[in-house]
């Protein structure tokens, strides 16, 4: 009755031939709807349960993976803080470098995990509705290629930064030569690396523009000093003095930690007429070679002064015998015009007047 009334109220009797719905028609429609619901309710319930299961598994898996990544990053930071302030920590790890590197790695891993899990869940949900995913995936592939071509520099910088961080090519506190700029690393990002130059300037280097990296703070460094002495010095005395300087320096602090090997006298690097060069080398802690070289020069200069070894550029040797000054050195040479018979005087004399021919 209700359906008949609503149908009658909503329709206008513009045609005399139209017939109002009867009770039998309403019953038939209700029966058809009930049978359709009865036939498909199991499918609806199955789809709903599948969607709920997919969403629940995706959420739980995402939470667990992100929590595991966070714990891993925290453990890396705790390990770095445990050795901070010790000799081992100074040699092997930098807390700020490890912290930034772990944060960058954690951010990348969390983003990748969320994208993969949620993307897979969305595709599975669309698949439960019997939607053909092939056109969707093809369109996404085309859009991805277009975005990749349009933002290829950004993508290159990002991927280069990810691999630099994962491979630990450099970190905060390292002194590097990136080709386009050089200096100390103060921040490592996924797109840009910040360097502080020797004069205090800050360089922003895109990771995609870096073709080669020279890390001066990894492994070990070499301190080399060239000692230039006179060619008449005793080489055995020079070698003994340099050896004593190296042994004394290796026992003093803080050079005993910065020197990773004995100070070696490599021998004569060059021999010239007015000088000869003795090469001194030592293996040092990474990034400490410059300080070791300066200290070696300081100590070598003091030791040479104490041993009486002259270096090139010192005071000249004093003369053993003083010669008397030449008394004629201050007398000027006689002039050619002093003699009236000299050719110069005759050429400069006035010409005599010609004789009088009229007499």
Sign of CA dihedral 147, 151, 154, 160: positive
Tens of pLDDT, residues 192-224: 889 998 888 999 998 888 888 888 877 788 888
Lowest mean pLDDT segment, chosen from 49-63, 71-85, 176-190, 329-343:
329-343
Q: How many of the other CB atoms lie within 10 Å of CB of 88?
A: 11
Cα distance between residue 297 and residue 292, in whole Å: 9
Mean pLDDT in residue range 43-64: 86
pLDDT band at 5 (very low <50, low <70, confident <90, very high): very low
Residue with tokens 């009334």: 5
Cα 108 to Cα 193: distance, rounded to the nearest angstrom: 16
Given a contact cutoff of 8 angstroms between Cβ atoms, the answer to whether 270 and 288 are in contact is no
For residues 300 and 194, give the distance between their C-alpha atoms in angstroms, rounded to a whole number: 38
**CA angle, 43 then 44 then 45, to 5°:** 90
- CA 246 to centroid of chain Cα atoms: 34
A 10 A CB-CB count for 136 gives: 12
Exposure pattern of 329-339 as b/e (b: 16+ CB <10 Å)? eeeeeeeeeee
Q: Are residues 22 and 38 in contact, defined by beta-carbon separation less than 8 angstroms?
A: no
Q: Count of alpha carbons within 13 Å of 174, Cβ hemisphere only?
A: 25
Tens-place pLDDT, residues 102-146: 777 787 788 888 888 988 888 888 888 777 777 777 777 777 777
In whole angstroms, what is the distance from residue 166 CA to residue 245 CA? 43
Instruction: Output helix, strand, coil percentages for the chain, rounded to the nearest 5.
Output: 55, 15, 30
User: Cα separation of 60 and 175, whole Å?
Assistant: 43
Give per-residue pLDDT as tens, 155-168.
888 888 888 887 87
pLDDT digits (tens, 9 = 90+) for 86-102: 444 444 445 666 776 77
């Amino acid at each position: 009755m209700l359906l008949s009334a609503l149908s009658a109220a909503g329709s206008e009797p513009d045609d005399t031939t139209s017939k109002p719905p009867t009770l039998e028609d309403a019953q038939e429609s209700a029966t058809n709807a009930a049978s359709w619901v009865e036939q498909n309710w199991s499918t609806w319930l199955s789809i709903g349960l599948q969607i709920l299961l997919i969403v629940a598994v995706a959420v739980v898996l995402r939470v667990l993976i992100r929590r595991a990544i966070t714990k891993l990053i925290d453990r890396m930071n705790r390990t770095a803080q445990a050795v901070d302030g010790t000799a081992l920590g100074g040699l092997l790890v930098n807390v700020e470098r490890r912290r930034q590197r772990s944060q960058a790695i954690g951010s990348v891993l969390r983003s990748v995990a969320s994208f993969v899990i949620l993307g897979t869940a969305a595709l599975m949900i669309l698949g439960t509705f019997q939607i053909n995913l092939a056109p969707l995936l093809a369109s996404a592939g085309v859009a991805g290629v277009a975005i990749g071509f349009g933002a290829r520099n950004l993508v290159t910088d990002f991927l280069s930064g990810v691999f630099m961080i994962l491979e630990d090519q450099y970190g905060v506190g390292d002194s590097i030569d990136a080709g386009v700029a050089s200096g100390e690393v103060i921040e490592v990002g996924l797109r840009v690396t910040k360097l502080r130059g020797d004069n205090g300037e800050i360089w922003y280097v895109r990771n995609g523009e870096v073709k080669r990296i020279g890390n001066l703070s990894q492994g070990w460094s070499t301190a080399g000093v060239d000692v230039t002495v006179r060619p008449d010095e005793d080489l055995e005395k020079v070698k003994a003095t340099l050896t004593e300087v190296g042994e004394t320096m290796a026992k003093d602090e803080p050079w005993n930690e910065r020197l990773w090997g004995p100070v070696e006298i490599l021998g004569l690097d060059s021999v010239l007429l007015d000088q000869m060069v003795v090469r001194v080398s030592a293996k040092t802690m990474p990034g400490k070679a410059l300080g070791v070289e300066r200290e070696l020069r300081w100590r070598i200069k003091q030791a040479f002064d104490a041993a009486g070894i002259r270096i090139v550029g010192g005071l000249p040797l004093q003369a053993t015998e003083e010669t008397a000054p030449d008394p004629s050195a201050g007398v000027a040479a006689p002039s050619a015009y002093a003699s009236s018979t000299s050719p110069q005087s005759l050429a400069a004399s006035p010409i005599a007047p010609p004789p009088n021919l009229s007499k």
